[in-house]
Amino acid sequence: MTPETLQDSYATTRAMLAEFMPPPDADREARLILCHALGYSAAQLLTRLSDPWPPGDGPGRLIATLTARMARQPLAQIIGEWAFYGRDFHVTRDTLTPRPDTETLIDHALGAPFTRMLDLGTGSGAIAVTLLAENMQATGVATDISVAALSVALRNATRHGVAARLALQTADWCDGITGPFDLIVSNPPYVTAAAYATLPPEITDWEPRQALTPGSDGLQAYRAIVAAAPTCLSPGGRLLVEIGHDQGDAVARLFRDGGLDAVAIHPDINGTDRVVTGQCP
C-alpha cells in the first residue's frame, strides 16, 4: 500500500474493513487506524486528509495495524488502549475491551453516593477505576480470578491516579472478600453457550473466554454474586450488574429471590435492557 495522500489510505483502509463489518464501523475504524499510524488526533486527521504522508514510519505502522485487523484481532488490542467513559484504558488479550454498553452501569452506580465499592470480575479495571476517578472520596476493592487481568487493572489504576484507593485481589467472585460495601458492581460473564458459538472471531479468537461465558444458560455468575451479596453489602447497600439483552427478567428474579429490595431493570442508550439494580434491606 503506497498511497499518494492520507485520503487514499483512508479510502483503501475503509474498503478493506468493509469486507467484514458494516460501513459505519469500517469508517470509524479506518479513522482510528490512521490516527494510530500517524500519531494524530481525530481533528488533525480530518484537516489533513488531502496531505501526502509525512516523513517517518507511519506507512509501516498502517500496514502492520491493518494486517493485524484483517486477521480479526480487535483494534483495541492492536492499539493497546481503548476509550471508556472519557478515559483511555490499557487493553491486552487478558481482558475484555471496555464497551460503551457498560457506561450505563457507571451512570447508575454514580446515581447515589458511595464510600466503599467492590468490583467483581474487574478485568481491565475500567469499571472500578472509573468509579473511583469520578468519586474522589471513595475507596474500593476489585477482584478477578485472572492474575494477568489484575496486572492490567493495576496499570490502569496507576494511569488514572486511583491506585492508592483501589485494592486488587485474586478471588472467585466474593470468596475471601471482607465487607461491608455500600456499592457492589459487576460485569460478569453472561453469554450463553449457544450465543457464544455465534460470536465473531474478534471475540472468540482473541478475548478471554472465561470473561465472556460461563456456559449453559449464562446465569451462573449472577447466582454466585446474589448469594454472596447479603454478607458483603451494608444495610441499604446497592448491587448493580450488567446483563445480556434478554436476561433482565431472569436476573431481576434472582435478585428478588435473594432478598434484595428495589429491584429494577435499566436500558442502555439504545433502549436495550443492560443493567439490573437492587438494594440490601
Instruction: Enumerate residue ranges in the chain where pLDDT < 70.
Output: 1-3
pLDDT of residue 230: 87
DSSP for 78-109, please give it.
HHTEEEETTEEEE--TTSPPP-GGGHHHHHHH
pLDDT of residue 3: 53
pLDDT of residue 4: 79
Which pTM was predicted?
0.93
Please state, in angstroms and rounded to a whole number, the distance separating the CA atoms of residues 59 and 53: 8
Please state, in angstroms and rounded to a whole number, the distance separating the CA atoms of residues 140 and 184: 10
Cis ω for the linkage preceding 180 (within 30 of 0):
yes
Radius of gyration of the chain (CA): 20
Strand partners, 277: 240, 264
pLDDT of residue 215: 87
> Where is 140: in which H helix or E strand?
strand 139-144
Please state, in angstroms and rounded to a whole number, the distance separating the CA atoms of residues 194 and 182: 35
Please state, in angstroms and rounded to a whole number, the distance separating the CA atoms of residues 96 and 149: 9
